[in-house]
Amino acid sequence: MKKKLSRVPLALVLAFSLLLSAAAFSSCETEPETGPVAERTTFVMDTFLSVALYRLPESGEAAEEDALFSEGFALVKDLEDRLSRTKEGSEIYAFNEAESSYVLSEETASLIARALAMSEATGGAYDITTAPLTELWNVAGGGPVPDDDALAEALSHVSYRKLTLSGTTLYKSDPAVRIDLGSVAKGYALGKLCDFYAARGVTALVNFGGNVGLVGEKAEDTPWRVSLRSPFSSNESAGSFTLSCAPAGAVSGTASEKENTGHNAAAGGKTVSFYVAVSGDYERYFEADGQRYHHILSPFDGRPARGIRSAAVTASDAADADMLSTALFVMGPEAAAAWADTLASEYGATYVLIPDDGVLKTGGLSPETFSPA
């Protein structure tokens, strides 16, 4: 059996090729200055987090700039410490080790409530109880492909219906149930980080393992442009999004008030921040006997989901975008496309699907907001 492990560094090959040049992000009009004023990258939640700041608070002091990075990164690191499946001491690790229940913090309980609601809404296509499958397949470690008996055993412990949340206490009906928030934690953390910047009047572009957060106007009346990577070639684009946000300081209130009360409310018909999340089969996978086995596992049959190579979702909520991109990928092209109206009405979301045949399917996007390559 031949194996090939591929875990391409996300700093080099991202689900989104963010075109950071002036031409890439600007509209047709030429701008005198379009590049970021400061950029930094860190490694957290098992991936790269890159932040580019385009507009800083008026004081613009070096110490304040440093704090924008250090405090923002610390916020994400704190979430990792609480939401990681593998870190001892995290809430998720503690629940997974518990026999029947665990008392969560209010924030973590709220996030899991959202995940369970998404599971119900998607008919189980989104499911956070796939940890037994993740551990069995060991995609990050190169496999191997599990046998049918081992797969059936792991799958018997997978179902969001085995979880019950009462207040902040999460119960499991099966002691072997284990949860993994990898399909929502990065999106949730991205949203919190963008909240942090928007509440301080900072314009920023954040790339978190391929999920992208846009905060504020890059320049006056200038939209952001984000290129969607082709799943068939890391050097090619499948198309580009053109997205607009309201200025980062458009919502009134103190930084603390805006962070805690949802500053992303519509301002002049636009939201202060906007998100694009991508689920794809081309970054974390291994190969065995000529077959690719990727990390997005179906809770229905326990195997890597098939039919879609890339699912991109745009939304004004980062956690929703993250969960929805996973759900659509698992659904497959036909079922996902049939979900377009629900995406728009319930989540204000749009999508781009790239099936195995490479023919793009879009939902809710106008020619002005997405242009195929």
- Residue 304 vs residue 11, higher pLDDT: 304
Q: What is the pLDDT of residues 279-317, one digit of tens each?
A: 999 989 899 988 899 999 999 999 999 999 999 999 999
Does any domain span residue 96?
no
Lowest mean pLDDT among 13-27, 150-164, 179-193: 13-27
**CB burial readout 78-95, b (16+ within 10 A) else e:** ebbebbbbeeeebbbbeb
Does any domain span residue 209?
yes
Number of domains within the chain: 1
Does any domain span residue 265?
yes
Q: Give yes or no for a contact between 133 and 296, defined as CB atoms under 8 angstroms apart.
A: no
**CB burial readout 121-155, b (16+ within 10 A) else e:** bbebbbbbbbbbbbebbebeebbebbeeeebeebb
Q: What is the pLDDT of residues 342-368, one digit of tens each?
A: 898 999 999 999 999 999 999 999 998
Does any domain span residue 152?
no
Does any domain span residue 290?
yes
Is residue 190 pLDDT above 90, yes or no? yes
Is residue 126 pLDDT above 90, yes or no? yes
User: Which pLDDT belongs to residue 285?
Assistant: 87
Q: What is the pLDDT of residues 238-287, one digit of tens each?
A: 999 999 888 876 554 444 444 443 445 444 446 788 999 999 999 898 99
Q: What is the pLDDT of residues 57-82, one digit of tens each?
A: 766 566 688 999 999 999 999 999 99
pLDDT band with cut points at 50, 70 and 90 for residue 20: very low
Does any domain span residue 135?
no
Structural domain of residue 14, as residue ranges? 3-81+184-372
- Please provide residue 337's backbone torsions phi and psi, each rounded to the nearest 5 degrees: -65, -35
User: Which pLDDT belongs to residue 234?
Assistant: 87
Q: How far apart are CA 103 and CA 91, in angstroms?
A: 9
Does any domain span residue 100?
no
Which of 268, 288, 278 lies closest to 313, judged by CA? 278
Does any domain span residue 136?
no
* pTM of this structure: 0.88
CATH number of 308's domain:
3.10.520.10
**Tokens describing residue 67:** 């704090």
DSSP symbol at 297: B
